[in-house]
Amino acid sequence: MKDNMYGTIQDSKLTISKVRTTKAKPITYAKIPVFDQLSQAVFQTAYEDKVAEIHFGVEVREVVQDAFDWDKEILDKTIADKIIMEKVI
């Protein structure tokens, strides 16, 4: 379980502490939503100073796929492994 964290904001800067003081608010974090791990990534947003808490949200963003062809690479390796195994046997 995550330790409780508290924060105070002064001069637009967040200070985090494990100890709650009279001015400190609990810090909460949004749950990570379901997302497509092949084409999306989840990023934490800047904090929001709410009445009873300081909250960090999340944002799901599309990501650019790299040029690596995973299926072809795995298939080529599988074929190469099979050829090597056939030579050994």
At 40-54, the pLDDT tens digits run 999 999 999 999 999
Provide the residue count of the chain.
89
Which contiguous run of DSSP H or E holds residue 78?
A: helix 70-88
pTM: 0.65
* H/E element, 57: strand 54-62
> Can you give the residue ranges of every domain in the chain?
6-64
pLDDT in tens, 5-58: 999 999 999 999 998 888 999 999 999 999 998 889 999 999 999 999 999 999
